[in-house]
A and B are shown apart, each in its own frame.
Chain A
Amino acid sequence: MSVDTRVNWGGVALRNPVLTASGTFGYGMEFAPFFDLTRIGGIVAKSLTLEPRIGHPPARIAEVPSGMLNAIGLENVGVDAFLNEKLPALPEGVTVVASVFGTDIESYAEVCKRLAGSRVAALEVNASCPHVKSGGMEFGQNPRVLAELVRATRQAASVPVAIKLSPNVTDIAELARVCEGEGADALSLINTLQVLDVDLKTRRPRLRNTLGGLSGPAILPLALRMVWQASRAVRIPVCGIGGIQSGEDAAKFLLCGATAVQVGTANYTNPRAALDVAEGLEAFAESQGVTRLTDLIGGLETEPA
Chain B
Amino acid sequence: MTSLRVDAEVAENRDEGGANRRLRLRVPDWPGSAPGQFVMLSPGVRSSVERFDPLLPRPMAVYRVHDGCLEVLYKVTGRGTALLADARSGERVRVVGPLGKGFPESVGKCLLVGGGTGIASLYDLAARDRERSHVLLGARSQRDLMGQEDFAALGVALSIATEDGSTGSSGLVTALLERELETATNATVFACGPTPMMRASAEIAAKHGARCFVSLENPMACGIGVCQGCAAPRANGGYALVCRDGPVFDANEVLWEAMP
Contacts and interface: CB of A to CB of B under 8 A. Distances in A.
A68 B221 contact: yes
A169 interface: no
Interface in B73-127: 94, 96
B239 A216 contact: no
A16 interface: no
B224 A271 contact: yes
A58 B5 contact: no
Interface string B29-57: 00000000000001000000010111111
B55 A72 contact: no
Interface residues of A, number: 38
B183 interface: no
Interface stretch (B140-148, B160-168, B225-233): B225-233
A30 B225 contact: yes
B153 interface: no
- Give the secondary structure class of A's interface: loop
Contacts of A59: 219, 260
B225 A61 contact: no
B236 interface: no
Contacts of B3: 33-34
B193 to A, nearest CB: 18
B220 to A, nearest CB: 8
A65 B218 CA distance: 20
Given A59-B260, A66-B55, A68-B56, A33 B222 contact: no
Contacts of A270: 5, 94
Interface size class for chain B? 35 or more
Contacts of B232: 58
Nearest to B1: A33
8 contacts: A54-B237, A57-B233, A61-B220, A66-B53, A68-B56, A217-B55, A265-B221, A272-B5
Contacts, number: 102
A104 interface: no
B142 to A, nearest CB: 27
A26 interface: yes
B55 A61 contact: no
Given A55-B228, A70-B227, A272-B5, A246 B50 contact: yes
A23 B57 contact: no
Contacts of A68: 55-56, 221
Nearest to A73: B228
A216 B57 CA distance: 13
A25 B221 contact: no
Nearest to B80: A63
Most central of B57, B222, B227 by chain A CB within 10 Å: B227
Contacts of B219: 59, 61-62
From B3, B226, B259, residue with most partner A Cβ within 10 Å: B226
Contacts of A24: 222, 226-227
A269 B42 contact: yes
Contacts of A30: 224-226
B50 A61 contact: no
A96 to B, nearest CB: 15
A18 to B, nearest CB: 17
B96 A23 contact: no
Nearest to A64: B55
Please give me the 5 A-B residue pairs with the lowest Cβ-Cβ distance, nearest first.
Answer: A61-B229, A26-B226, A268-B222, A58-B260, A66-B52
A29 to B, nearest CB: 10
A23 B4 CA distance: 22
B55 A265 contact: yes
Chain B CB count within 10 A is highest, among A54, A65, A245, A268, for A268
Given A62-B219, A245-B52, 15 more contacts: A30-B224, A31-B224, A33-B3, A34-B5, A58-B230, A58-B232, A59-B219, A60-B228, A60-B230, A61-B219, A61-B227, A245-B50, A268-B222, A268-B223, A268-B227
A267 interface: yes
A271 B95 CA distance: 11
B258 A57 contact: yes
Interface string A1-45: 000000000000000000000011110001101100000000000
B98 to A, nearest CB: 11
B235 to A, nearest CB: 14
Contacts of A272: 5
